[in-house]
Amino acid sequence: MAEVLLENVVKNFGKIKALRGIHIEVKDGEFLVLLGPTGAGKTTTLRIVSGLEEPDEGNVYIDGVLMNGVAPRDRNCAFVFQNYILYPHMTVYDNLAFPLRSRMWRVEEGEIRKRIERVSSILKIQHLLKRRPDRLSGGEQQRVALGRAMVRNPRVFLMDEPLSNLDAKLREEMRVELKSLQKNLHATFFFVTHDHVEAMTLGDRVVVLNQGLVMQVGSPEEVYARPHNLFVARFIGAPEINLLEGEMDAGFVRCRSLRVSWKIEDFPFLRGISKIPEKVFLGVRPEDILLGVGSERGEVYLIEDLGVDKVVRLRAGEVLLRVRISQEAPVRVGESVSYDLRREKVIFFDPMTERILT
Amino acid sequence: MDGKAKAMHQKALGEYRLKLYFIGPTLLVLIIMNIFPLIWSLGLSFTNYSSLTSKQISFVGFANYSRILRDPFIWKYFQTTARFVIVAVGIEFLLGFGLALLLKEQFKGWGLVTTLILVPMMLSPVVVGLFWTFIMDANFGVLNFLISLFGLKKVLWLTNPHIALYSVALVDIWMWTPFVMLISLTGLLAIPKSLYEAADIDMASWWFKFRKITLPLVSPLLVLAVLFRVIDAFKMFDLVFIMTGGGPGDVTETVSMSLYRLAFNKFKTGESCAMAYIILILIIALSNLLIRWINRTKAA
């Protein structure tokens, strides 16, 4: 197992700036998730670690050894591609054996058989070994691709959205399997996804990437509760965070659109800040708005039933707030209800820098 | 039949007629130019007909076939043809596939180089035969001039009985290597790059990738290219006719050349038809063998 370090890595494809100086550290035995929207540079980052792509600037280290210019075959990284890329003309068995037969010091066929049996029983693909990839379902192909990464002992597992082609149920199963696999192998996983649920459930740490820049690094809880900037706040969490404009006014935070003012002292996060700008953004997660308490009132505009809980669109002042409430809560469309913010949870952003106020 | 069904029936009939209008002309040409001569010549192959004399035509049964199959010269010509096919197609395959491997990678001027390589294939065989006859001329040919620059002796390219067949093969190679290259290149470029990336990750060497990915995935097209070339080279006539006329002696006499002589020098039309059929059957057998081999490699 190994640690990976990316140091000020820059990568351009013609005029497109894929990576604009990123710094990422993957610790030994860690499950690191790289999260970001399409075009953020996630796949490019993985390809640079694997050696399929060379950085234009900056350095890549694996276990402290500089990897710039080292061929992929000398890096010993496993890569699970988004569309799996199994060898179409070989059986599943031969696909799994490929990385063991390809080396100069070839693994003995008996040993290969043993390893494939072990891996295929972990992944439950023993019954598929004689089939060709085109006769497999997406989930089966995905497990074969995973198996191909597991048969040898790679230093790092690089995974490029491996679950994105699976249906919701299978994806959930595979999430659990991946996580336990990583725990059992004590392996270093570098996992790319655009799905924040995947990132939150899988990652020991999450790196949020946008337009080739690292936005935030932290545990899933940190990234969710204390997003460093507006982008992270918006990107993580569904339904999306409520962002409200606020003005500082003689000891009060006035929210024009809601037609409400709160005392500054009510917000614990604001108390510690020495210099508060005139204008701020208030970030309120949907579950941090409580219904049926407080003095402000709003009108229930729409109810989305998600099964476990409900999301209410509450018309308050001039805006529609997203509010997450429990399944049992008795609300009806058109009803007028009182609401309140959990003020200890409200996050403040500087509208100029789009950064969190600390 | 009610009105609606009748209308449908008429519409179907109309479509059928339209299809006939489109296919008809092609069918007509095929029948006149291919199918009729095929059947007619089969009939002639059992007669003693000669297109030169107007004597009574009589049915001779398999006499033509047995005469040809017992003729020792015919077997010699078949051997000559086989030697030509093996040498020419073998080298065309090696050179063509090799060139395709080189051209698989993009480089500056790729388009120009590829187009230039394809030029020989686009020329008329008669033109090629003519100018290579000049190039290979023993006294004033460019080839011997170039050789003399290295202090080597003149080579009698087309008149030395040990060399003539290989000289013709050389021209065939010059002309048709691009064809093998083109088909191989198509096959090579059709292999997704991502497979090579996966193999890179799986720590495969160049040779391992070539053996386990390139060859298996390109082989159906390689076999196809060889099949085309074998059939074509087996029928070799134009280059031989222009460059050596089958000589010196009969060392470059291919079966097609000998067939031509039989039909249009000796005017033994019936016998030549029989020989044409023997060649046809051989080519069909040969291509069937190759096609079966393709299918077997596919199934494996």
pLDDT tens-digit series, residues A29-67: 999 999 999 889 999 999 999 999 999 999 999 999 999
The verdict on residue B53 lying in a domain is: no
pLDDT value at residue A58: 93
Q: What residues does CATH 2.40.50.140 cover in chain A?
A: 242-349
Which candidate in B196, B200, B203 is best for mutational testing of the A interface (most A CBs within 10 A)? Answer: B203
Same domain, B37 and B158: no
pLDDT tens-digit series, residues A308-341: 889 999 999 889 999 999 888 888 899 999 999 9
In order of A35, A79, A227, B105, the CA distances from A220 in angstroms are 11, 24, 10, 44
Pick the CATH number of A242-349 from 2.40.50.140, 3.40.50.300, 1.10.10.10, 3.40.50.2300: 2.40.50.140
The verdict on residue B54 lying in a domain is: no
Cβ–Cβ of B201/A87 closer than 8 Å? Answer: no
The verdict on residue B154 lying in a domain is: yes
Q: Which domain holds residue B26?
A: 1-44
Same domain, B109 and B39: no
Pick the CATH number of A4-228 from 3.60.20.10, 3.40.50.1010, 3.40.50.300, 3.40.50.10860: 3.40.50.300
Share of chain B above pLDDT 90, in %: 41
Distance CA B158, CA B165 (A): 8
Sheet containing strand A65-66, edge to edge, reads A16-26, A4-13, A57-62, A65-66
The verdict on residue B57 lying in a domain is: no
Same domain, B39 and B69: no
Chain A's closest residue to B215, CA to CA, is A89
Domains held by chain B: number: 2
In A112-224, which ranges are E strands?
Answer: 156-160, 188-193, 205-210, 213-218
Same domain, B26 and B159: no
Q: What residues does CATH 3.40.50.300 cover in chain A?
A: 4-228
Same domain, B137 and B72: yes
Same domain, B26 and B67: no
Q: Pick from B203, B212, B217: which is nearest to A103 by CB?
A: B203
pLDDT tens-digit series, residues B215-254: 999 988 898 898 889 988 988 888 889 888 877 888 888 8
Cβ–Cβ of A102/B203 closer than 8 Å? Answer: yes
Contacts of A84 (CB under 8 A, 6+ apart): A133, A141, A142, A144, A145, A162, A165
The token pair that represents B283 in the structure block: 């080519």
What's the complex ipTM? 0.83
Residue B95 predicted with pLDDT over 60: yes
pLDDT value at residue B299: 59
Domain CATH number, residue B114: 1.10.3720.10
Q: What is the pTM of this model?
A: 0.79
Cβ–Cβ of B197/A85 closer than 8 Å? Answer: yes
Residue A135 predicted with pLDDT over 70: yes
Same domain, B231 and B175: yes
Residues of chain A with Cβ-Cβ distance to B205 below 8 Å are 73, 102, 104
SS (H, E, C) B73-93: HHHHHHHHHHHHHHHHHHHHH
Distance CA A302, CA A323 (A): 11
Cis amide prior to B25 (ω within 30 degrees): no
pLDDT value at residue A131: 93
Mark out the alpha helices in B32-161 (DSSP H runs).
Answer: 36-44, 63-70, 72-103, 110-122, 125-135, 142-149
B300 contacts chain A (CB < 8 A): no
Phi and psi for A183 in degrees, rounded to 5?
A: -65, -45
